[in-house]
Structure 1
Amino acid sequence: MCGITGWVSFEEDLTQRREILDAMTETMSCRGPDDEGTWVAPHAALGHRRLAIIDLPGGRQPMSLRTPNGEIAMVYSGEAYNFTELRAQLAGLGHKFETDSDTEVVLHGYLEWGEAVADHLNGMYAFAIWDARDEKLVMIRDRMGIKPFYYYPTRDGVLFGSEPKAILANPLARKVVDTDGLRELFAFVKTPGWSFWKGMYEVEPGTIVRVDASGTHTRTYWKLDAVQHTDDQETTVARVRELMTDIVHRQLVADVPRCVLLSGGLDSSAVTGLAAARLAEQGEQLRTFSVDFFGQEENFKPDEMRDTPDSPFIRDVSKLVGSAHKDVMLDPKALTDPEVRRAVITARDIPAGLGDMDSSLYLLFKAIRGESTVALSGESADEVFGGYRWFHDEAARNADTFPWLAFQTGMHERSNMLRTDVRDNLDVDSYIADQYKTAIAQVEHVDGASEFEQRMRTVCHLHLTRFVRMLLDRKDRASMAVGLEVRVPFCDHRLVEYVYNTPWSLKTFDGREKSLLRHATKHVLPPSVADRVKSPYPSTQDPGYVVALQQQAKEVLAAKDNPVFALVDRQWLSDAVAAVPDSITTVTRHGLDRVLDLHHWFDIYQPELQLG
């Protein structure tokens, strides 16, 4: 797991611009604290920061191969979970290996298959290859978009990086945010290819971007295809169990300490149970970690998203599987620490406005990194198996918009903290409507499917191509900001393809959400978790959190020339600060978090706004 960056220029001699490449590479130091390296040729420069996971001494990058017709150099971020099989296959084809790293396997795979190497990979990855034989750059991203990857076309080439900050370190890239960037920020719909920064693009999941002297060329190598599902219920459950077991076993491979993120829900508990069983076979005890808030369990109040606190279920799972468990306990002071907020914004490059759900995730990962380097997560199971509450809410799933926006109270009010002129200019509602039409037009259906099954396939497609990408980006940025690699078993493309094509009647065959996962993994679950209703990532209910937000917002109000007021309505913020804390709604609390994020983001990035 690493951070990559680079620069291709077909007119400039980049061997004379090493200092700029070094600056770009240094921005990725958090993603790769163990090592750094650069490779420079006249028209291509590659930078790499390494978090050593597999073959600690042998996986240094950039990595290159010399051929009779020119050198091939690569920077790679991620893991290829099937690299052992690929290595054997390539060795059988005559390839010689000098290391035990998956990076070298991918590089030789490119030498053998060219861009089609992507079709052979099982994993999470973002990598760039400079092929001097044809003077071209090839950028490839994993199928689900687990690893981030961005590029910025220039007059005579391209800049690229794992994160926007690497690209923005090059003087050719301008720190501009325009109306479209802000629309996406407030819409919560994750338009494919969006990067927030004007002129910058995301290498889309399942996509290959090739840059040569003739320009930029994009090809999709993987997407969600609609295929008729013919397995019966028993066979389907067995296949999910088989896939889940194989996936978890593959993703436990590492030469560094591993753990599992355990929330007490079905998803993370299933991964925990399978991982604990595998490590027990190897004579090891699994480590598990969770995040919680002081007093949350004792003072918990049910809300529209959460019926129960997580702690009792976490204890049940840990006791059953015998894990060495640790709770990372947080209080409002830690959650609202301005330095933590700045660290999160720097990690994500955007003022996301998710408040304690971002800061607590960052602090959880920071605590874990002291004991483990790799963590397995239950992220994405709800998108794959249909677990969110709005999947099962008739009004939300039939609404003429994204289901998560239709279900959650106040989502349409989350731009209320903006100035009226800014809000009118953004017209977020129209933007969402346009994006929804575009998204549903991309869904394919199988012949003979009922209208209801077609609708549910559409809902699943929206989550797997839009919603999950927001969460994957959030998790990657927060974890890599502290040098922790988080793996997501539920994003294995074999599982995603198989479950996506099971009809909704099978996904809910026992009358509950995630029936397939529940039955496929019940052998490793305590009854309490097997019967638990979906509960999302926890959020603090401590009133001290809102009080701290109001106090910090007062300081923002005190600065009359604060650039945040180019976007934020000063009167809205004044009213929110003056309100009795107990009267603060979820929407207002969200607005306060977003104002503070914007405040620090302006200070850190010094962006240029282009509105209108």
Structure 2
Amino acid sequence: MRRGVVEMCGISGWVDFDRDLGQARGVAQAMTDTMACRGPDDEGLWLAPHAALGHRRLAVIDIEGGRQPMVAEEDGRPLAVLTYSGEVYNFRELRAELAARGHRFRTRSDTEVVLRAYLEWGDDLAARLNGMFAFAIWDTRRAELLLVRDRMGIKPLYYRPTPAGVLFGSEPKAILANPLAQPPVVDADGLRELLALVKTPEHGIYRGMYEVRPGQLVRVSRQGLSRRRYWRLESREHTDDLDTTVRTVRGLLDDIVGRQLISDVPLCSLLSGGLDSSAVTALAAKALRERGAGRIRSFAVDFAGYSDNFEPDEMRGTPDAPYVHDVVRHIGPDHTDIVLDSADLMDPAARAAVLRARDLPIGVSDMDVSLYLLFHAIRGHSTVALSGESADEVFGGYRWFHDPEAVGADTFPWLATPGIARYGGLGALLDESLLRKLDLPGYRAESYRQALAEVPRLPGESGLERRMREIGYLHLTRFVQILLDRKDRMSMAVGLEVRVPFCDHRLVEYVFNTPWAMKTFDGYEKSLLRAASADVLPRSVLERRKSPYPSTQDPSYERALRVETARLLDRGDMAVAPLIDLEKARAALVLPAGPGGPLGSRAALEGLLQFNAWLEEYGARIEI
């Protein structure tokens, strides 16, 4: 593997133009401490009269030189200070360009390249970066803060304006550690966002809190706060023929995977036996062989007895394990299966860790817990993992892309799909009067209208091609955020960096503008990806239909869930009680398993337990 730098970290900060933050070390430290899981190896604080920047670091190389917050100085006085999370894959090219412009470097880190790029190009630096990143720069010359997030939103970044400045952090917990953000309140719109299974750009769920939108800059000065998009999807005419398109996709993938293999620490691949993760694993294995760098390590999650007792449902037609092992035989990685059972999934410590990682009750518990446990096991062997996440959004892989009813529905297509719609969680148990107040159908409809209004149109495009451009845009700006956020939180909770090659903006832009007819030319989903990786994959994987991340089918898990829920309902001090219909909740305990069980009643029970735990741990107030 080529020598490089990994800076997967957690950042936090506070800007206040009305007080001396040099005297606020305790609060700034508390904010930074909440990010310890994201950066377990080192920490740093930088304090000035009106700015406090914090950093927690996952150190890999150049431990002293790459420490943060990093300060750029001239004649002994600070020019700009950076707290940075992420990785810039083209930092070598940028470093050479900056050196030719007279910049001198003290370290080998991509962090210093980002800082120097700001000094050279100001906020135009963002458009020059290829990677996943979220960072804050305090410009001491202008007394201004700049917040920047990568184009696809791989790395999270939140902020909360205050009367005299702003609070920010990689996760809400960093902001909530500041007394100015207490008590945490979720109002009607926040509750709608939690329950509606939509992802509204910039919505932070907690009242007064926002996310930096993917591809967005946020600037804070004495004059106030401003936002600017430095990147968004654009529609362009696609002029390449099919063969050229397939070759271009493969060329991009080879370059992307090659760049993302840069690491000085143990690196691995997540392997599910699906087309996406198998393609990434196979291309990574090929690149490493060509470099003489040995075999790729790979890891897969499985449940005890899952393959032997698997029953197809409306979401999953096949278990993963047989396909995983076909890939292992075909490309020869150093492979490990991480096998979990129901006791693992119900482990209170693991479930609490998942909630703390999420900061909100927005997950599907067994799938979040299994992903967390998978990452926890991997972290004992590797620090960096490549993932196949986001290929479905880029190439059109989900079943509803190919379901005429879902495609034609006047809503987000995933909401028109029964298997997904049943993941309503707590929403199924809410009190009827509260449901009427929230009007979730109306909220979803308005969110859908807003998303459609953003779609970049191509002149002359009509019919199915026009509609599939819309659906592609909805997934690349809404649905993908749900999954990227989940993967980031579960991995960074154990200090594991997960890279997502399919989110490289060059690939996203190219495939977004490829006609739907090309994306489905072979009669399967993700035709372009299949054709581009056909030479490195076994036939069984190339012919496999899409199967989402696995959810346990073990009846003992559902029984344990019902026991836990019954205990909660028997308590007289249940925090979630004012929001739910107790009769509905008790009825959910006795609904039969099977169709509508795991995805219906089970999801409701999961949501009830998770929501109650969040209210108790975070002390959040629900104000409707």
- Provide TM-score, normalisation by structure 1: 0.98
1:370 aligns with 2:383: no
Report the equivalent of 1:31: 38
Kept in 1: contact 2:591–2:601 (CA 8 A): no
Report the equivalent of 2:138: 130
CA distance in 2, matches of 1:134, 1:582: 62
1:422 aligns with 2:434: yes
| TM-superposition CA deviations, 1:286-320 (whole Å, max 9, x none) | 10001010000000000111111111110011111
Report the equivalent of 1:335: 345
For residues 54 and 249 of structure 1, do their structure 2 counterparts lie closer, same or farther at Cα, with a shift above 3 Å needed?
A: farther
Report the equivalent of 1:492: 504
CA distance in 2, matches of 1:350, 1:585: 22
Q: CA deviation at 1:509?
A: 1.2
Matched position secondary structure for 2:217: strand
| 1:19-168 map, 5 Å | 19-67=26-74, 70-168=78-176
Note the residue ranges of structure 2 that are not aligned, 5 or more in a row.
1-7
- % identical aligned pairs: 59
Kept in 2: contact 1:353–1:591 (CA 8 A): no
More deviation, 445-454/301-310: 445-454
Q: CA deviation at 1:554?
A: 1.3
| TM-superposition CA deviations, 1:466-497 (whole Å, max 9, x none) | 00001000000000000000000000000000
Kept in 1: contact 2:422–2:600 (CA 8 A): no
Report the equivalent of 1:407: 417
Q: Which one-letter code corresponds to 2:618 in the other structure?
A: Y
Q: CA deviation at 1:581?
A: 5.1
| 1:136-215 map, 5 Å | 136-174=144-182, 175-215=184-224
Q: Which one-letter code corresponds to 1:248 in the other structure?
A: V
Matched position secondary structure for 1:416: helix
CA distance in 1, matches of 2:139, 2:328: 49
Report the equivalent of 2:605: 592
CA distance in 1, matches of 2:419, 2:369: 23
Q: Which one-letter code corresponds to 1:263 in the other structure?
A: S
Report the equivalent of 2:231: 222
| TM-superposition CA deviations, 1:235-266 (whole Å, max 9, x none) | 10000000000000101101111000000000
Q: CA deviation at 1:58?
A: 2.5
Matched position secondary structure for 1:328: strand
Matched position secondary structure for 1:441: helix
1:283 aligns with 2:293: yes
Q: Quick one: which of 585, 605, 608 aligns to 2:618? A: 605
For residues 579 and 303 of structure 1, do their structure 2 counterparts lie closer, same or farther at Cα, with a shift above 3 Å needed?
A: closer
1:442 aligns with 2:451: no
Q: CA deviation at 1:524?
A: 1.0
More deviation, 295-304/274-283: 274-283
Matched position secondary structure for 1:172: helix
| 1:537-556 map, 5 Å | 537-556=549-568
Report the equivalent of 1:18: 25
CA distance in 1, matches of 2:162, 2:471: 37
CA distance in 2, matches of 1:118, 1:137: 15
Q: CA deviation at 1:420?
A: 1.3
CA distance in 2, matches of 1:315, 1:465: 34
CA distance in 2, matches of 1:408, 1:578: 21
Q: Which one-letter code corresponds to 2:567 in the other structure?
A: E
| TM-superposition CA deviations, 1:106-125 (whole Å, max 9, x none) | 00000000000001100000
| TM-superposition CA deviations, 1:568-604 (whole Å, max 9, x none) | 2211222222445568352110000000101211121
CA distance in 1, matches of 2:95, 2:419: 51
Q: Which one-letter code corresponds to 2:85 in the other structure?
A: S
More deviation, 50-59/27-36: 50-59
Report the equivalent of 2:318: 308
- Provide TM-score, normalisation by structure 2: 0.96
Alignment length (residue pairs): 611
Kept in 1: contact 2:429–2:581 (CA 8 A): yes
Report the equivalent of 2:16: 9
1:561 aligns with 2:569: no
Q: CA deviation at 1:54?
A: 4.9
Matched position secondary structure for 1:143: coil
Kept in 1: contact 2:172–2:359 (CA 8 A): yes
CA distance in 2, matches of 1:363, 1:418: 30
Q: Which one-letter code corresponds to 2:494 in the other structure?
A: V
CA distance in 2, matches of 1:535, 1:57: 45
Note the residue ranges of structure 1 that are not aligned, 5 or more in a row.
none
Q: Which one-letter code corresponds to 2:622 in the other structure?
A: L
For residues 594 and 74 of structure 1, do their structure 2 counterparts lie closer, same or farther at Cα, with a shift above 3 Å needed?
A: same
CA distance in 1, matches of 2:242, 2:545: 22
CA distance in 2, matches of 1:67, 1:10: 24
| TM-superposition CA deviations, 1:205-255 (whole Å, max 9, x none) | 000000000100000000000011111101100000000000001011011
CA distance in 2, matches of 1:246, 1:368: 25
CA distance in 2, matches of 1:192, 1:340: 29
More deviation, 276-285/208-217: 276-285
Kept in 2: contact 1:56–1:255 (CA 8 A): no
Q: CA deviation at 1:416?
A: 1.5
Q: Which one-letter code corresponds to 2:569 in the other structure?
A: L
| TM-superposition CA deviations, 1:415-445 (whole Å, max 9, x none) | 2211112211111000000000110011112
Matched position secondary structure for 1:39: strand
Report the equivalent of 2:274: 265
Q: Which one-letter code corresponds to 2:549 in the other structure?
A: Y
Kept in 2: contact 1:353–1:590 (CA 8 A): no
Kept in 2: contact 1:353–1:593 (CA 8 A): no
CA distance in 1, matches of 2:445, 2:422: 12
| 1:284-299 map, 5 Å | 284-299=294-309
More deviation, 62-71/185-194: 62-71
For residues 60 and 367 of structure 1, do their structure 2 counterparts lie closer, same or farther at Cα, with a shift above 3 Å needed?
A: same
More deviation, 554-563/224-233: 554-563
Q: CA deviation at 1:567?
A: 1.5
